[in-house]
Structure 1
């Protein structure tokens, strides 16, 4: 190969590499501090950039695109993290982030199916915000939420199953609002960090209030009409109860202690 041709190819390659590095999309970092046996995955949703029309191979216009984020390993034992691009050109057109949907998975038992899901979401606002001072550190937005387990019985043998709900915390620390996430300003997102801090309520609650009665030893399952009554509403009857099964197969009369003698 002639020296001039080799030099031209090297120069062209360096230019291409430099061009690629300059076109990398800006991102923000999403972090989630999670309780034990919890994880968070995310789906970033995109829309065509202003003035852009996105055309699918079929020739039809489309208005949405998505990127899925599932950390293979947590950053620590109780933290997940991934970077979310503010733009997406992988669909053949220029798109901008319009929102981030989160799925919170909590594992309540040993089996793979012993889990429940809750969701949250962050919308992206194009309204101008208070801009950062030049050369200042990008902001960290922290959203504190609390999850709670709700128990119920299922099936003819009345096995315990659990449902996960996550909500915002009120001023006094109580669970207040549905977990709707929050709103983020686009002009403050580049190189910033959005952090979701999740905790779990200490006490579980019945998924259906008029199915259980609380005693000092724990919760007892109302009888209803008979043992075959799967709905088994209490309907004022707080003296007749029936047993149920823990996920490990134990026959129990009180939740969560199983028997009234256990502490």
Structure 2
């Protein structure tokens, strides 16, 4: 508050000072407008990718770009989910365009990196890949978008078991293939191709399932019995089980000596 017994003095600004402050305000406003417009120019189109996964599986995406205007500036980036490990519905936002050092790039393909955990140890994992291709023109294999909802690709992962090393420890190999609309496993990897036109803002979903039973990686070296799979000694000429078969033993990852997989003992 002002003291009542003391006069208040106001200083009148000169025109030059007034004009200078006005210009400074305009400069600040222009700078803020430029910043907002600059941010909007850097915004890129994108689409949503979802993956419905089995337990103990996770997924990341590697996006590959080509120059949009004939320049030489291809590139790629790895996009991982920030959701907790073990989440069975993963969601990623994948940019369709980006600008790097003045070079405009467009998305050409997405490699899907699948990781499955088959055992308790950190190294008990299997790796597999799938792919999504973005086309500018339709082809025989290009999938059209439905009128509503996501574009869905189906896949199935199969674990193959085998023995490794002088003590014949069981390890597993992962293989993931596409499924057709009837659920039949295809030779191709998971994924497919889709049109760029209309992709922005839409959702692409991979529904991945896991085969119920493991299969032998070297099928000719194992015989299926009512108790399970039994490993046999192979002939040197054909690498098939001897006739009549002579069986051998193996070890589970936890060190147990076994004669049949997966039950260990008959």
Scaled by the length of structure 1, what TM-score is found?
0.84
Q: Answer whether contact 2:58 2:86 (CA < 8 A) is retained.
A: no
* Alignment CA distance shift 1:40-1:91 (3 Å): farther
- Give, in whole Å, the separation in 1 of the partners of 2:163 and 2:122: 18
Which stretch of structure 1 is more off in the superposition, 95-104 or 231-240? 231-240
Give the paired residue count: 244
Unpaired segments ≥5 residues, structure 1: 55-61
What displacement does 1:144 show?
0.8
Q: Name the residue aligned to 1:80.
A: 90
Q: Name the residue aligned to 1:43.
A: 62
Q: Answer whether contact 1:213 1:238 (CA < 8 A) is retained.
A: no
Match of 1:254 among 257, 260, 266: 260
- Give, in whole Å, the separation in 1 of the partners of 2:187 and 2:168: 31
**Alignment of structure 1 residues 144-223 onto 2, 5 Å:** 144-223=154-233
Q: Name the residue aligned to 1:114.
A: 124
| 1:175-220 superposed Cα distances (whole Å, 9 cap, x missing partner) | 2222152011000210011100000010110001111000111000
Q: Answer whether contact 2:233 2:242 (CA < 8 A) is retained.
A: no
- Give, in whole Å, the separation in 2 of the partners of 1:131 and 1:235: 48
1:245 aligns with 2:251: yes
Scaled by the length of structure 2, what TM-score is found?
0.83
SS at 1:10 equivalent: helix
**Alignment of structure 1 residues 21-100 onto 2, 5 Å:** 21-49=40-68, 51-54=69-72, 62=73, 64-74=74-84, 77-100=87-110
* Alignment CA distance shift 1:203-1:108 (3 Å): same
What displacement does 1:95 show?
0.9
- Give, in whole Å, the separation in 1 of the partners of 2:37 and 2:181: 50
Q: Name the residue aligned to 1:59.
A: none
Q: Answer whether contact 1:52 1:93 (CA < 8 A) is retained.
A: no
Which stretch of structure 1 is more off in the superposition, 69-78 or 245-254? 69-78
Match of 1:104 among 114, 126, 130: 114
Q: Name the residue aligned to 2:16.
A: none
SS at 2:103 equivalent: coil
Q: Answer whether contact 1:143 1:197 (CA < 8 A) is retained.
A: yes
Larger Rg: 2
- Give, in whole Å, the separation in 2 of the partners of 1:148 and 1:237: 29
What displacement does 1:124 show?
0.9
Cα RMSD (Å): 2.7
SS at 1:188 equivalent: coil
Q: Answer whether contact 1:152 1:208 (CA < 8 A) is retained.
A: yes
- Give, in whole Å, the separation in 1 of the partners of 2:207 and 2:32: 45
What displacement does 1:66 show?
0.4
